[in-house]
């Protein structure tokens, strides 16, 4: 499969989608990824990430980030380029596949907090390519602000998201209101939510690589504060202490909104008129 799609990096050694699927089935769906080997030389062709939550939009966001970081080599962070991404329907769900560069390095460890924090800050500081929320390509938002990290609404704009959050505050008789439109005037930013050692790799020379863009998408900057405040594991909390992010009243209000949603067990509370529900 030498030709690339979506502007992905071409890889003349990449086999057909059927061969990739067969390899993933051989490994099994309890795993989330596997190496793809050349049958003659046994050298690694690519790393395949696969599963029901893997999307082409995630691949587009990852590859955009990789190319953006290529222009700033001094930042000390890289992201694997994507070769190909596709989905296949199965009886129970859709399975996504992302073929990307294989990073031959161990995962970061608990002692790598400062380096990972620098990497996260680098991601946050990248200017977004547009004003569309979520992943590149129109895939829905994935963020820890929402119960189960997935919204039920199809937010077409920051204003839509702003209105829903304020509706929830009003419904719960909280006098505070957020202004995400003002927050986004300077542009959206990448917002990493799943900050764990396994999502970063470090070579012996110290070069760091960021992996797994499922829960890294474009949001108003105050959502960085929400993600950092909601870090639940020790490593994520230690990284959050090293990150520069807004401490606006919006962050506090949105954390309260999340707590309001918990007893309801769903994100559909105070759904604004005219807002469309996300297609399932």
Tell me what pLDDT residue 137 has: 82
pLDDT, averaged per 10 consecutive residues of the chain (280 residues), comes to 75 96 94 91 94 95 95 82 95 94 96 96 92 86 95 92 97 97 93 95 94 96 94 92 86 96 93 83
**In this predicted structure, what is the pLDDT of residue 232?**
81
| Cβ-contact 63, 6 below 8 angstroms | yes
Residue 190's alpha-carbon distances to 4, 9, 132, 141, in angstroms, are: 25, 22, 12, 11
- Domains in the chain, start-ordered, CATH in brackets? 17-100 (3.30.200), 110-264 (3.90.1200)
10 secondary structure, DSSP code: P
Number of residues that make up the chain: 280
Q: DSSP string spanning 224-275?
A: HHHHHHT--SHHHHHHHTT------HHHHHHHHHHHHHHHHTSS-TTPPTTP
Q: What is the pLDDT, as a whole number, of residue 1?
A: 59
Supply the angle between the helices 222-229 and 249-264 in degrees, to the nearest 10.
Answer: 60
Residue that is written with structure tokens 């110290």 in the block? 206
Give the pLDDT confidence score for residue 4 in this predicted structure.
57
Looking at residue 140, its pLDDT comes to 80
The pLDDT, as a whole number, for residue 27 is: 95
Residue 181 phi, psi (nearest 5): -65, -45
């Amino acid at each position: 499969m030498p030709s690339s799609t979506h502007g992905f990096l071409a890889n003349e050694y990449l086999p057909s989608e059927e061969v990739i699927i067969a390899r993933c089935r051989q490994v099994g769906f309890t795993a989330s990824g596997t190496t793809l080997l050349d049958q003659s030389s046994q050298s690694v062709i690519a790393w395949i990430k696969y599963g029901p939550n893997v999307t082409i939009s995630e691949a587009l966001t990852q590859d955009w980030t990789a190319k953006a970081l290529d222009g700033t080599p001094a930042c000390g962070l890289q992201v694997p380029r994507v070769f190909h991404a596709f989905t296949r329907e199965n009886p129970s769900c859709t399975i996504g596949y992302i073929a990307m560069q294989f990073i031959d390095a161990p995962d970061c460890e608990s002692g790598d907090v400062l380096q990972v924090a620098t990497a996260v800050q680098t991601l946050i500081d990248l200017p977004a390519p547009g004003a569309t929320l979520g992943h590149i390509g129109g895939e829905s938002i994935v963020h820890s602000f929402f119960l189960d990290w997935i919204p039920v609404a199809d937010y077409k704009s920051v204003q839509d998201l702003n209105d829903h959050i304020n509706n929830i505050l009003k419904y719960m008789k909280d006098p505070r209101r957020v202004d995400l439109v003002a927050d986004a005037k300077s542009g959206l930013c990448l917002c990493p939510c799943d900050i764990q050692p396994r999502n970063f790799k470090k070579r012996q020379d110290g070069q760091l690589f960021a992996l797994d863009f499922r829960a890294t998408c474009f949001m108003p900057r105050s959502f960085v504060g929400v993600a950092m405040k909601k870090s639940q594991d020790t490593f994520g909390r230690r990284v959050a202490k090293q990150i520069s992010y807004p401490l606006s009243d919006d962050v506090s209000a949105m954390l309260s909104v999340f707590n309001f949603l918990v007893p309801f067990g769903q994100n559909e509370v105070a759904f604004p008129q005219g807002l469309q529900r996300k297609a399932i």
